[in-house]
Chains A and B, each alone.
Chain A
Amino acid sequence: MSIKKDISLLPSEKFKFVQEGTKLSDKKFDNKPVGYFKDAWRRFRKNKASVVAMCIIIFIVLFAFLTPLLNTNYDSTFKDIYYQKKAPRNLFLSQFGICDGGTNRSFSESGLIKTIAVGIAAEDKQSNGDLTIAQGLKSKYQPILNLSEPVSYIDGAKNEKLSYPGRVEVYYEIGFIYKSVEQEEYKRIVEWQEKTGLQVLYPLIEENEFYPDTTDANYWYKAVKYKDQGVMPVSTADGLIKRISYSENMKLEDNYMRDNDGNAVFYQYTGGGNINTAQYKVRILYYNYYIYQNGFEPEYIFGTDSVGFDLSLRLAGGIKLSLLIAVCVSIINFIIGAIYGAIEGYYGGVVDITLERVSDILAGVPFIVVATLFQIHLAAKVGAVPSLLFAFVLTGWIGTASRVRTQFYRFKNQEYVMAARTLGARDRRIIWKHIFPNSLGTIITSSALVIPGVIGAESMLSYLGIVKLGGTNATSLGTLLSDASSIWTNFPHLMVFPAITISLLMICFNLFGNGLRDAFNPSLRGVED
């Protein structure tokens, strides 16, 4: 009673109406409603690792699609048979000491001299062979980038020998090659030489007792093959054949072919009938010849692969192929799995049991057997990639189907479905409009997680050679790796780039898929906050 009394004590002027004349209604929401997908996206963004993974995936996809466009020098069919397995080289980046086209190597004395000699000969424009090693090392075409102090070791025959660890630029190392040209071509090269000042043609070598290997155009100096040390340069100055060993000031004696006047000979007639078809043997500096042929210096940011293709383009092609297969498989699995699972789950009973038996049997076949059989039977008819797709699709949808089936079992007897049925909705409408959207999240997740599995399986099959995807136009990351598998210790870039790419792809797609799974899983809502 006391409260009532208290209120009655309050003066009436302190009271006023909350609302007078205006209508009272609910407040409008300031924020927009959040749907299922928006909510999932919001939760996905919170997962830092998945977002990073998604960015890396986008980057890799961009790399795959942009590389062929940005690479103006080469297209995917460009192949150079002399520049095979060469290390990464980029003139701009080489200023910072990376991508300089170099590999570390330990030279024997004879090998070192031969390599340095390439630079000497290229520099020796007058072809009189009077440059020393020290001068030759300064040449632009000098393959030796740097040289460390020699290390002594004991060889198989118990002799003490020196080995020279150093770094060699593999594009210059090719040095000189012999080539057969027609007169027209020869004239064009000479013209080009005068225009650009780059020398392509170098004197031929006299085929005498000082020429140990007549197919190797790099032995321009007088050399003799010794049993213990290999091919070593000799001096014949005073009528005696004397072996020269490596030193800073050593001079190599040239063995150029000369005519009666003592001038170096640049070409030699080798055969052919008339003036147009006659073939001449010339000795060319391959690096400059490459520029003459293509109009640019060899620059391969990822190096070249084992048959002379640009590795970055091969990688881009491999990524594209992998992703294409993976996305196709994922979409097809999505569709088949959804329909199959929906029918199984919705109708149940005999239909369910029969369909389950079929998918059980299919699931029992090991994937590798399926892939092999499809390759053997179909590869010749429809091509390797479609038959690989068939193999993936044949058993791939089973997981999706069983997830959809579970979801259907969960939802098909709920009240709202019954209500829809009572209102006269047909089966098809109930399946796709009312029940299926519930399972969308799980299917999207499983479709995303199919992608890394497919990429891994595809690269494994092509690595093993069960699926043969190597070709001029397209290759697979697995094929690149299997090409590299026996030689990668000498050419690490062949192995490193594809391996990193495929590892990154797998890790990122797994992370991305896990992020999606967590984002679409309603039971986790609010747990992590």
Chain B
Amino acid sequence: MGKYVIKRVLLMFFTLFIIMTVCFMLIRILPRELPTDKVQASAIASRWEALGYNKPLLVQFGIYIKNIFLHWDFGTSWKIAFRQPAWDVLTGRLLPTILVNLYSLILSIPVGIGLGVFAAIKKNKWQDSLISTMIMVFVSVPSYVYAFLVQFIFYFKLGWLPPLVYSLADGGGSWLTWKMFVSMILPVLALSFGEIAGLCRFTRAELTETLTSDYMLLARTKGLTRAQATTRHALRNAMVPILPMIISSFIGILGGSMIIERIFSIPGVGQLYIQSINLLDYDVFMMDCVFYTFVSLLAGIAVDISYGFIDPRIRMGEK
């Protein structure tokens, strides 16, 4: 197991390195723009010269990697937050993204799994077909449609909740205040519909499979009631693939959702990504690319490794 984990982590960093190389080359060959102000432009130009932006690409990449290892320096933002380290710009945006997605996960995991279990138990009855239809609809409809829908219902019709997430100043100076939480309810809802439907579908599929398996029959023959057999045997086995999925969504919350962040004007990582493209702030863009790649790779190996931990019968990496 330990060997397998180490192998996977090393492979992950190898993949990350290759993707970083390609991204770096593709981003660095883009022409950079200097501001129109002459004094500032010459200052920035000389700064770029000193940072080695005019050297050959491979040398630049060497400098980039060296800086990451020696100073944890991923480059500098030239547009979004002038001359601040790209790493700081990114980490400054992490908290709102994480909060919104965390709230959404806290809401959707119990609801999604609960509905899925309910649907599986009531398989082929009207409750099941109702839930299955809803799942189909909610999985398919894009998240921005929900976003508009919840804005329409809860802001324009009922007037209960603010349509956008407050800025830090309006929300009481911290992301964790109650006022901030209230303004985050709408994006959380908009994110949760799809998440709930996805979890519910997965749970239902897994549980119906385990409910019809032979050991359930054995459990019932042994004298367990239906509820006992379901909770002790079927649910535990169904959880084997469900838990890794939840773990990967917990890692996925770092990435967030660009669309939801944009509609509700949450100053998160997704917004930063869009901003960095629109303003052509290449170092921040590179930082964002590395971050997204890292998060998705991490989520991938977390799933594989957690299988082995959750269910010792599964031996990962065996031939």
Q: Does B26 contact A (CB under 8 A)?
A: yes
Give, as a whole number of angstroms, the nearest-CB distance from A138 to chain B. 34
Bound-state Cα–Cα, A465 to B300, Å:
28
Bound-state Cα–Cα, A503 to B30, Å:
37
Main secondary structure of the interface of B (DSSP, over half): helix
Number of interface residues of B (CB under 8 A): 36
Give, as a whole number of angstroms, the nearest-CB distance from A379 to chain B. 12
**What number of residue pairs across chains A and B have CB atoms under 8 A from each other?**
82
Task: Assess A368 versus B144: contact at CB under 8 Å? Given A377-B26, A464-B258, A485-B263.
Answer: no
Interface readout for B275-319 with A: 1 if CB under 8 Å, 0 if not?
001100000010001001100110010000000000000000000
Quick check: A507 and B137 within 8 Å, CB to CB? yes
Residue of A nearest to B133 (CB): A49
Quick check: A373 and B26 within 8 Å, CB to CB? yes
Q: Does A495 contact B (CB under 8 A)?
A: yes
Give, as a whole number of angstroms, the nearest-CB distance from B13 to chain A. 11
Bound-state Cα–Cα, A466 to B278, Å:
8
Q: Does A488 contact B (CB under 8 A)?
A: yes
Q: Does B9 contact A (CB under 8 A)?
A: no
Bound-state Cα–Cα, A507 to B141, Å:
7
Q: Does A460 contact B (CB under 8 A)?
A: yes
Bound-state Cα–Cα, A503 to B144, Å:
10
Bound-state Cα–Cα, A110 to B277, Å:
46
Interface readout for A295-306 with B: 1 if CB under 8 Å, 0 if not?
000000000000
Tell me which of B26, B152, B274, B296 contacts A366 (CB under 8 A): B296
CB neighbours (8 Å) of A466 from chain B are 274, 277
Bound-state Cα–Cα, A459 to B141, Å:
12
Quick check: A361 and B18 within 8 Å, CB to CB? yes
Q: Does B259 contact A (CB under 8 A)?
A: yes
Quick check: A510 and B139 within 8 Å, CB to CB? yes
CB contact list, A354-387 vs B, under 8 A: 360-361, 364-366, 368-369, 372-373, 376-377
Task: Assess A510 versus B26: contact at CB under 8 Å? Given A361-B19, A369-B293, A463-B144.
Answer: no
Quick check: B144 and A481 within 8 Å, CB to CB? yes
Give, as a whole number of angstroms, the nearest-CB distance from A477 to chain B. 10
Tell me which of B136, B142, B297, B300 contacts A459 (CB under 8 A): B142
Range for the number of chain A residues in contact with chain B: 20 to 34
Interface readout for A420-462 with B: 1 if CB under 8 Å, 0 if not?
0000000000000000000000000000000010001001100
Give, as a whole number of angstroms, the nearest-CB distance from A391 to chain B. 12
Quick check: A511 and B292 within 8 Å, CB to CB? no
CB neighbours (8 Å) of B144 from chain A are 460, 463, 481, 485
CB contact list, A269-304 vs B, under 8 A: none
CB neighbours (8 Å) of B293 from chain A are 364-366, 369
Give, as a whole number of angstroms, the nearest-CB distance from B171 to chain A. 22
Bound-state Cα–Cα, A485 to B265, Å:
12
CB neighbours (8 Å) of A502 from chain B are 142, 145
Tell me which of B19, B23, B142, B278 contacts A456 (CB under 8 A): B142
Give, as a whole number of angstroms, the nearest-CB distance from A394 to chain B. 11
A–B pairs, 8, beta carbons within 8 Å:
A361-B18, A361-B19, A365-B19, A366-B296, A372-B285, A466-B277, A489-B156, A495-B148
Residues of A within 8 A of B (CB): 49, 360-361, 364-366, 368-369, 372-373, 376-377, 452, 456, 459-460, 463-466, 481, 485, 488-489, 495, 499, 502-503, 506-507, 509-511, 514
Residues of B within 8 A of A (CB): 11, 15-16, 18-19, 23, 26-27, 30, 136-137, 139-142, 144-145, 148, 152, 156, 255, 258-259, 262-263, 273-274, 277-278, 285, 289, 292-293, 296-297, 300
Known contacts A366-B255, A507-B136; 8 additional CB pairs below 8 A are A376-B277, A464-B262, A485-B148, A489-B152, A499-B145, A503-B141, A506-B142, A509-B140
